[in-house]
Every structure is written in C-alpha cells, then in structure tokens.
Structure 1
Amino acid sequence: MNDRLYYQDAYLTTFEAAILRCGTEEDGTAYVVLDHTAFYPTGGGQPCDTGTLGDCRVIDVEEVAGEIRHRLDRPLTGGSGKVTGRIDWQRRFDAMQQHAGQHILSASFIKIADAQTVAFHLGREHVTIDVQLDSLSAELAEQVERQANQIVLENRQIEARFVTEEELASLPLTKPPAVTENVRVVIIPDFDYNPCGGTHPRSTGEVGPIKIIGWERHRGNIRVQFVCGWRALADHARKQMLLQKVTGLLATSEQELADVLERVLAEKESLKESLQQREAELLAAEAERALQSAERLAGGEWLMQASFAGRSMQELQQLARQIVSREEQAIVLLATTGEKLQLVFARGTAVQAEMNQLLKETLPLIDGKGGGSAAMAQGGGAPTLPAEDLLAHARQLLVSRANA
C-alpha cells in the first residue's frame, strides 16, 4: 500500500509521480496510471478525489484490476516521465468530514439503540446510512445525534492504520473487515473500531457538527439522512434564510410560525369550500340560462350548444351535468379552445341519440381522440377549425338523423 499516499497522509494535496502508462477507456476517456498517487479512488461508499495531473483535469479515479486509473478530461501531453498531481482539497476534506461523521453516527446508533449500520452512501448533498431498526422516533434520533456530537466536542483522536492479524483479533471491531489482508482500522479510542479504507481527519473535532436531517423506511431498515461539518453549516444557513423569508411573509415570529401556518391552512380550506360552493351556484345559474335559450328540435329535444375560451374539460363536464339533470330531453354540445380544442357532448335521460357515436363522427375533423358513453362523451384535438364550425357539424348530424 506504499503507492497510495492518501493512506500515509490524508492531508497531502500536492505530489509528484512517475507515469507508468497511459490508456483509453472503451468510451474514449483518457486515463493514466502512476507509480504512486494521492488521489483516492471511488470505494467503500466514498467518492473519488478530483484535481489535476499536469495540465489535465482528473474527472474520475477508480481501481481496476489492482491498478488505480486516473481518468482525464483529455489525454496527458507527453505521456512519459513525471507529472505533478494536485488534489481538490475542498472536496477531499468534505469527504473526510462526512466519512468520519458516518463512523461516529453509526457507532452512536449502536451505543444508544443497539442498531447496526448495514449500508452507507456519501452523496453530493447529504449522506445516508441504513440502520437495522423497525422504526425511528424523533426522541431516539435526538439521543443518537446528541451522543455523536458529544464525541465531536470531546475532540478525540482519530487514528487510521493497518493492523496485524494479532492486533485485529484483539480489537473490539464494529463490524468484520471486508478483506482478509491489508486490513486498515479507523480507531476512535474507547468508542469505535471500524475496518475502513477511506480518508479521515486527525480528530473528531474536525468533523464539525453532525445533523440528522431526515429518515425513511427502506428495504426493512431505516435510511437516515445526515450532514456533517461545512455541509451542516450550509444546510443550517439555507434553512435559516428560508425561515426568515417565511416569517417575513407571514409577519410572525419563529415561535409562532407553526400556529400561524395552521391558521392560514385552516382559512385556506374554508375559502376552498366556500369557493366550490360559489362555483356550483354559478354553474347552476349558467345551466338555467342555457336552458332558457335552448333550441327546440323537431323530435322534441332541447339543444343547447356553446363554445368558450380557456375553460377546462372538467368545467364543461360539470356544466353539461347540471343542464341534463334539469331537463331530461336536453342535448348539450360544448366546446372550449386553448392549446387544444376540446368537446363535451351530453344528453338527458329521455334522449335516444348516442353521444359517444356523435363525438366519434365529429372528432376526425380536427384529427382528435376521445371516448365516453352514450350519455356523455368527451375528447379533443388540434384547433384547426373554429369551435363553432365543429359544433355546427355535430348539430347537423343530429338534425339529419331526426329527420331521417
């Protein structure tokens, strides 16, 4: 492991190495293999380092068949000799904070809830662990979080080193190692002894605050989302700004925000019910006016047709129902224009004409599609014809059949 400088010094950001070989992946991405490297490859739930090799960006680092491939944004010029590597320190230290924070939080779940961590993922915005619990209460989450931050505040030493078989057998490991040789253990004395190949800070104080931000059921366990260090501070700042904005909009304080929101939501629900009642009353009045201006057909039916702009299909359906519920001999032909031309045809219970068939014979004029029943049908298509022409076509079909 002497060729992996991140194991010797996780704080190393600049190094010089000899180029062993250059290559190209199947997708055309250039890569280079060095005789030693400070770039951490993706693995163990931790993302790889990024940075530069010479004048090239290192966009990905992965161990393939025992060698570490540094994937580049373009081929390395020269391709031989030595090259200087530089690590993106902000990304590296973020990974160190999050990974060490995961060790501390997972150990805290064991101490407080006797719950093992079975999965870990370090994402761009937050970190997750899957914990063997049936459920997680807010009270238990707070206890675990408090325990984790107590370890941070104690600023305990973090030691990461390779151990012999004899040492390994004597350590109270959190979990068995995933490898059988070159076993590396991350040690927080009297708290956590965790086999791990990731990068970590020298002390728990460098991890910074650990904050649980949520959890959910996932495949029989509890998936816990959390952030550490600079991420935790950024998350707090973002939420604080959002809180200030909301309290400003509602003209209230943080302490009274929940009560004010409950009151606003209750008022909204009351207004919604009142609005629905008013809309129903308006539709009823509109239906009455429509019947008064309806055309009497030869067969005794009352035909009501109208076109609108910007009304929804749902509104047309509600209006049609209002009309046919008042007059059993009513036939209703409605259209609304917008991005599409939409139609609603309906009939009263004493009418024999089939609305789905009428719609089927009308929609081809606008290359439309639709469906429904003999009592009510709806559909739409491209607004290539005026709505009034489409309704006139449907009316002519009804009149011609009545006179047949």
Structure 2
Amino acid sequence: MDDKLYYQDAYLQSFEAEIVKRGAEENGQPYVVLTQTAFYPTGGGQPCDLGTLGNRQVTDVEEVAGEIRHRLDAPIAEDVTKVAGQIDWERRFDLMQQHAGQHILSASFIEIAGAQTVAFHLGREHVTIDVELDTLAAELAERVERLANQIVMENRPIEARFVTEEELAQLPLTKQPTVTENIRVVMIKDFDYNPCGGTHPHTTGEVGPIKIIGWERHRGNIRVQFVCGARAFADYSRKQKLLQDLMRLLGTSESEACEVLGRLLTEKEALKEALQQKEMELLSLEAERLRKESEGLGGNLRLVLTSFAGRSMQELQQLARAITSQDAKAIVLFATTGEKLQLVFARGTDVTVEMNQLVKETLPLIDGKGGGSPSMAQGGGAATLPVDDLLSHARGLLLAKIEG
C-alpha cells in the first residue's frame, strides 16, 4: 500500500510521482498510471478525487486490474516523465466529512433502533443510507440524529488503518469485511468499528453537524437522506433564506408563519369554491341566452350553433352540458379557434342523432381526430377551413340525419 498515499495521509494535498504507464480507454480518453498517488479512486461508495497532474485536469480515477488509472482531459506530453499532483482539497474534505458522517449516523441507527445499514450512496448534494426498518417515525429520527451529533461534539478520534487477522478477530465489527486480505478498519472508539477503504478525518468534530433532511420507503427498507459539515451549513443557509423570503411575503414572524400560511390556504380554497359557483351561475345564464337564440328545427328540436375564439374545449363541454340539461330537445354544435380548430357537439335526451358519428363525418374537412359518445363528442384539427364553413357543413349533415 506504499504507493497509495491517501492511506498514509488523508490530508495530503500535493505530491510528485513518475509516470509508469500511459494509455487510452475504449472511448479514447487518455490516462496515466503513477509510481504513487494521493488521488483516491472511486470505490466503497465514495467518489474519486479530482484535481490536476501537471497542467492536465484529472477527470476520473479508478482502480482497474490492480492499477490506478488517472483519466485526463488531454494526454500528457511523451517527454514528460515526472508530474506534480494537486488534489481538489475542497472536494476531498467534503467527501471525508460525508463518509465519516455516514459511519456515525449508521452506528447511531444501530445504537438507537438496532437497524443495520444495507446500502450507502454519496451523492453530489446529499448522502443516503438504506436502513433495515419498516417505518421511521420523526421521534426516532430525532433521537438517532441527536446521538450522531453528540458523537461529533465529543470530538472522538477516528482511526483508520489496516489490521492483522488477530486484531480483526478481537474487534466488534459493525459488519463483516467484503475482502479477505488487506483489511482496513475505521474505528471510533467505543462506538463504531467498520471495515472501510475510504478517506476520513482525524476526529469526529471535523465531520461537523449531521442533519437528516428526509426519508422514504425504498425496496422494503427506509432510505434516509442527510448532509454533513459544510453541506449541512449550506442547506441551513438556503432554508433560512427561504424562510426569510416567506416571512417577508407573508408579512409575519417566523413563529406565526405556519399559522398565517394555513389561514391563507383556507381562504384560497373558500375563494376557489365561491369563484366556481359564480362561474357555474354565469355559465347557466350564458346557456339560457344561447338556447333562447337557438334555431328551430323539425320535431320541436332546437339548434345552438356558435363559434368562439380562444375558449377551451373543457369550457365548451360545460356550456354544452348546461344547454342540454335545460332543454332535452336541444342540439349543440360548438367550435373554438386557437392553435387549432376544435369542435364540441352535444344533444339533449330527446334527440336521437348520434353526436360521435356527426363529429366523425365533420373532422375529415380539417384532417382532424376525435371521439366521444352518442350524447357528446369532441375533436380537433388544423384550421384549414373557416370556422363558419365547418359549422355550416356540420349543420347540413345534421339536417340530413334529422330529415332521414
């Protein structure tokens, strides 16, 4: 492990090494293998380090067949045999905080709830662990979070090292290692002993605050989302700004924000119901007006034939229902213009002409599609024909069916 400098010193930010191999991946991306490296490769749930080798950006680091490949944004010149490496320290320390925080939170779930962690993902914005629980109550989550932060504030030492088989047998491991040799254990005394190959800070205090931000049911377990350290401060700052903006908009204090918002939502629902009631009243009046202006047909039938501009098909359907509910002998032929030409045809209960068939015979004039039932049908197509001509055609078809 002498060539893996990140195991010797997780705080090492720069180093020098010789290039022992150059290559390119199948996609053409160049890579180099070095005599030694401080770049942690992707593994164990932890993303790789990024940074630079000389004047080249390291875009990915992965261990392949026992060699650590440093993938680059461009090849290093052939005459360059020795390079200086620089780790993106902000990223490295963030990953150290999140990974150590995961150890602490997972151990807290075991201590408080006897629940093991079965999966772990260190993402760009937050971290998740899948915990063996059927449900997670807020009170239990608070207890787990409180213990985790107690361990942080106690600033306990974190020791990460390779152990012998004899030592391993004596340790109260949180879980069994997935490898059989070169076993490395991360130890927080009297709290957590976890086989792990990741990078970690020297003390729990460096992890910073640990904050659970949510959880959900996932494949029979509970997936817990959380953030640590600098991410927790950023999350708090973002939410604090959001709260300040909300208080300013509501014109209230933090303690009264929820009450005021609840009252506004209640008022909104009441206004929404009142508006809907007024809209139905206006719709009923419009339906009555159109029915009175309707054309008389044979058999005491009445035809309401009207075109509109910019009204939705849903509005026309409601208006058509209002008319046909007022008059069982009414026939409604509506059209509305906009991005495309749309039709709504409807009939009262005393009318036998099938509206879906009438729509079907009308739509070919505008290369349209539609459907519906014998009592109400709708459809639409391209506005290739004047709306009055289309409705006139539909009226002719209707009259033919009535007379027939």
**TM-score bracket for the superposition, by shorter chain length:** over 0.9
Residue correspondence of structure 1 range 171-186 to structure 2 within 5 A: 171-186=171-186
Deviation at 1:301, TM superposition (A): 2.1
- Single out whichever of 301-310 and 145-154 deviates more from structure 2: 301-310
Question: 1:372 aligns to what?
Answer: 372
- Single out whichever of 380-389 and 173-182 deviates more from structure 2: 380-389
8 A contact 2:49–2:92 mirrored in 1: yes
Which residue identity is paired with 2:396? Q
Residue correspondence of structure 1 range 1-400 to structure 2 within 5 A: 1-78=1-78, 81-400=81-400
Deviation at 1:121, TM superposition (A): 0.4
Q: 1:384 to 1:32 in 2, by over 3 A?
A: farther
Deviation at 1:197, TM superposition (A): 0.4
Instruction: Work out the CA distance in 1 between the residues paired with 2:396 and 2:28.
Output: 66
Instruction: Work out the CA distance in 2 between the residues paired with 1:276 and 1:286.
Output: 15
8 A contact 1:21–1:79 mirrored in 2: no
Deviation at 1:299, TM superposition (A): 4.7
Instruction: Work out the CA distance in 2 between the residues paired with 1:299 and 1:56.
Output: 88
Q: 1:305 to 1:232 in 2, by over 3 A?
A: same
Which residue identity is paired with 2:83? V
8 A contact 2:353–2:402 mirrored in 1: no
Q: 1:31 to 1:382 in 2, by over 3 A?
A: farther
- Single out whichever of 180-189 and 299-308 deviates more from structure 2: 299-308
TM-align CA RMSD: 1.3
SS in 2 for 1:237: helix
8 A contact 2:19–2:32 mirrored in 1: yes
Instruction: Work out the CA distance in 1 between the residues paired with 2:78 and 2:400.
Output: 86
Which residue identity is paired with 1:35? T
Which residue identity is paired with 2:292? Q
Q: Percent identity?
A: 74
Find runs of 4+ consecutive structure 1 residues off by over 6 angstroms. none
Instruction: Work out the CA distance in 1 between the residues paired with 2:386 and 2:199.
Output: 69
Instruction: Work out the CA distance in 2 between the residues paired with 1:100 and 1:271.
Output: 51
Gaps (5+ residues) in structure 2?
Answer: none
Deviation at 1:403, TM superposition (A): 4.3
Instruction: Work out the CA distance in 2 between the residues paired with 1:92 and 1:399.
Output: 80
Instruction: Work out the CA distance in 2 between the residues paired with 1:224 and 1:403.
Output: 71
The count of residues paired between Structure 1 and Structure 2 equals 404
Gaps (5+ residues) in structure 1?
Answer: none
TM-score by length of 1: 0.97
Instruction: Work out the CA distance in 1 between the residues paired with 2:331 and 2:248.
Output: 54
8 A contact 2:355–2:375 mirrored in 1: yes
Instruction: Work out the CA distance in 2 between the residues paired with 1:79 and 1:325.
Output: 89
TM-score by length of 2: 0.97
SS in 2 for 1:152: helix
8 A contact 1:358–1:394 mirrored in 2: yes
8 A contact 1:99–1:122 mirrored in 2: yes
Instruction: Work out the CA distance in 1 between the residues paired with 2:35 and 2:299.
Output: 95
8 A contact 1:21–1:80 mirrored in 2: no
Instruction: Work out the CA distance in 2 between the residues paired with 1:206 and 1:386.
Output: 74
Instruction: Work out the CA distance in 2 between the residues paired with 1:55 and 1:370.
Output: 63
Deviation at 1:356, TM superposition (A): 0.9
